Structure 1
Amino acid sequence: MQFLWIWFGVTRWHCHEASFEAFYNNAVVKQVDVPTLAGMVGVLANHVPTIGVLKPGVVTVTDMEGKVFKLFVSSGTLSVNIDGTCQVLAEEAVKVEDIDQNAARAELEAAQRATVDGSDLSKAEASIRVEVADALLKAATGQQ
């Protein structure tokens, strides 16, 4: 029987200091579903080696007993290695059940307003905020 080993971590960079939290560290799980720029990637044991860029969305981890754990990720990377390990490294992540729907909705509205005025750079940054906030709100309301 083959197993899927996962390592899932989150980095946060603030004021030249990095903090790190591991949700899974060398854990055996049944499946990991990851939102990437190329689409959703479902990773099982014996998956071919893969790398990917995370897009805002929900990472779903199913453990060996079938329990499902969902995390919203803003961005990051996925790597599935030849030895059967899977690494998900997110810039920011939050448990889906911990998302405040009202705060997510307010962030989306503020980001949408910010796309209207300002320089091209500030509009581009606001567009990224809209993408992340929209995915966050969808995760909070079960639409993702």
Structure 2
Amino acid sequence: MFIRRALCREKMFNLNSYKNFSRLFSSETSSGIGTVKLSFGSPGVSLFVNEEVSGVTVPGMEGDFEIVGKHIPTLAVLRPGVVKVATTQGRTQSYFVSSGTVTVNADGSVQVSVEELCEKKDIDISKVQNALASYLKMINEGDEQKKAKSLIGQEVYRAMLAFAEEK
């Protein structure tokens, strides 16, 4: 109740004026109901630029979720994990991402912007294992800042190792 009083003043935002709430889905795009227009990349790499795909699965903070045609508009933060793109030709392309965001717009377009990405073939498993070991060791050393850095490093390298070792 306190938050409603603080945020919903008559002149700022009046919830009482919204009598009929409805769930809004993205509009049907010219490319068809079952596809989305995907833009996916990192600061140095653009993998997809407004390309029509069947769907994309992303590693959200609360779990993986799939975006297909007519998905509800969404904004989400990505955790370390795998982005899977289902092409209209029936192929699936997978990429490891360290972090990022996904935006699903009302027009059916999707933007996946990540800090870093790589394909499975580019991962050196022994280097990932060594990096993970160093972050595991770091958890018992130093202050709270080092512990936080260790936890982040462990999350990234465990996810990367799982992706690299996946058959």
The aligned residue for residue 68 of structure 1 is 92
Give the number of the structure whose alpha-carbon radius of gyration is greater: 2
Give 1:49's aligned residue: 73
Measure, in 2, the Cα distance between the counterparts of 1:103 and 1:66. Answer: 33
1:10 counterpart = 2:42: yes
Give secondary structure in 2 for the equivalent of 1:45: coil
User: 2: CA distance between counterparts of 1:106 and 1:139?
Assistant: 16
Larger RCO: Structure 1 or Structure 2 (Cα < 8 Å, ≥ 6 residues apart)?
Answer: 1
The amino acid that maps onto 1:49 is P
2:110 aligned with 1:86, yes or no? Answer: yes
The secondary structure found in structure 1 opposite 2:69 is coil
CA distance in 1, matches of 2:107, 2:157: 35
| Runs ≥4 residues deviating over 2 A | none
Q: Please give the secondary structure, in 2, of the residue aligned with 1:62.
A: strand
CA distance in 1, matches of 2:140, 2:90: 45
The residue type paired with residue 38 of structure 2 is I
CA shift for structure 1 position 140 = 0.4
Letter in 2 for 1:114: M
- Written as runs of structure 1 = structure 2, the 5 A alignment for 1:1-144 is 1-2=32-33, 3-11=35-43, 20-142=44-166
CA RMSD in angstroms, aligned pairs only:
1.1
> For 1:61-120, what per-residue CA distance to the aligned partner results, in whole angstroms no more than 9, with x for missing partners?
010011111000000101100010011000011112221111111111111011110111
AA aligned to 2:52 is: V
CA distance in 2, matches of 1:97, 1:84: 31
Query: TM-score under structure 1 normalisation?
Result: 0.90
Q: Please give the TM-score of this superposition, normalised by the length of structure 2.
A: 0.78
CA distance in structure 1 between the partners assigned to 2:136 and 2:48 by the alignment: 34
Higher strand share: 1
Moved more, 134-143 or 54-63: 134-143
Distance 1:78 1:69 in 2: 17
Question: 2:124, 2:105 → 1: CA distance?
Answer: 35
Q: Which amino acid in the other structure matches residue 89 of structure 1?
A: S
Q: CA deviation at 1:45?
A: 0.9
Q: Equivalents in 1 of 2:124, 2:37: separation in Å? A: 31
The answer for unaligned runs of 5 or more in structure 1 is 12-19
Unmatched runs of 5 consecutive residues or more in structure 2: 1-31
